[in-house]
Structure 1
C-alpha cells in the first residue's frame, strides 16, 4: 500500500485555486507526468464524471480512467481508478488560510499491482517527489496569473 500526502500554500483566493485544480482540462498544465485528458462523460465535473488520463511514470506510458466519487466545490475532490496497473485514489482539499492564501493538499493512495508492484518500496518516495513538483507547478501557474 502506498499513501502519500503533500501540501502547499498558494497566494491566491481559495475559489480560484479550487476551480483551476478541479478542472481536469488543466491537469496537463500542472501535472508533470500527465500528457492528456479526455472526458468520457459530459462536463461539468460532478460525482460520476469519468476522464481518461494518459501519463508517463517510471519511463512507461500509463492509461487509466478516473471516476469522481466525491466533489464538494471549493473544499474537496476525490477521484478513484479501478483499472490500470495501479488502482488509485486521489484526493484534493482546499482551505483558506487568509484572504488570498489557500492551502492545497494532494493525497494519493493505492495498491500497486503487476509491473508496478516491483517498485512498491520506492513508489511512495517517487510519488511524493512527483506530487511536490506538481504542487509547485500549480502554485507557479496560479501565482503568475496574478502578476
Structure 2
C-alpha cells in the first residue's frame, strides 16, 4: 500500500471550503484527472452515497466509482475510489484557523491485483495528482477573491 499526507492553508472560511469540496460538480474544476461526475442513486453527501468520476482524456472509457465512507459536515469527508487498477481511500479534514481553513488530505492506495505491472505506477501517479490538486484548488479559490 502507498500513501501520502498533504496539508494546505486556504484563505476561505471552513464552511465555504467544505461545501465547495463536497460538491462533486466542482471536481472537474480542481481535480486534474476528472472530466465529469455524476451521482449514482438518490443519496447525496452522506455515508454510503456513490458517484462516478469519468476520467479526462479517456473518451469516457475510463472511470472510477466513488463511495463516501464518512461525512461530518465542515470537518471531515472520506471517499473510497475504485477503478480498474487500484482502490484508494482519501480523507479530507478541515480545521478553521482564523479566517482561513487548514485542509489536510490523507490518501492510501492499494493496487487491485499484484499481477499487473502498471498498477504500482498508476497508484503513484494518482497519489501525486491528488497532492497537486490541493495546490490547484488553493490557486483557483484564492484567485476568485
Tell me the TM-score range normalised by the shorter chain.
Answer: 0.7 to 0.9
Q: Tell me what 1:140 maps to.
A: 139
Q: Does 1:107 align with 2:106?
A: yes
**Counterparts of 1:82 and 1:104 in 2: how far apart (Å)?**
23
Q: TM-score scaled by structure 2?
A: 0.84
Contact conserved, 1:85 with 1:115, CA < 8 A, in 2?
no
Aligned Cα RMSD in Å?
2.7
Alignment CA distance shift 1:132-1:83 (3 Å): closer
- Superposition TM-score, scaled by structure 1 size: 0.83
Q: CA deviation at 1:127?
A: 3.7
Q: In the alignment, what sits opposite 1:79? A: 79
1:124 Cα deviation after fit: 6.4
Offset at residue 56 of structure 1 (A): 4.5
Note the residue ranges of structure 2 that are not aligned, 5 or more in a row: none
Superposed CA deviations along residues 67-93 of structure 1, whole A, max 9, x for unmatched, are 111100000001113553211111111
Residue 4 of structure 1: SS of its match in structure 2?
strand
Matches within 5 A, 1:50-129: 50-56=50-56, 62-82=62-82, 84-97=84-97, 99-114=98-113, 117-119=116-118, 122=121, 126-129=125-128
Report how many residues are paired. Answer: 144
Alignment match, 2:5? 5
Q: Which runs of 5+ in 1 are unaligned?
A: none
Decide whether aligned partners of structure 1 residues 117 and 56 sit closer, same or farther in structure 2, where only a CA change above 3 A counts: farther
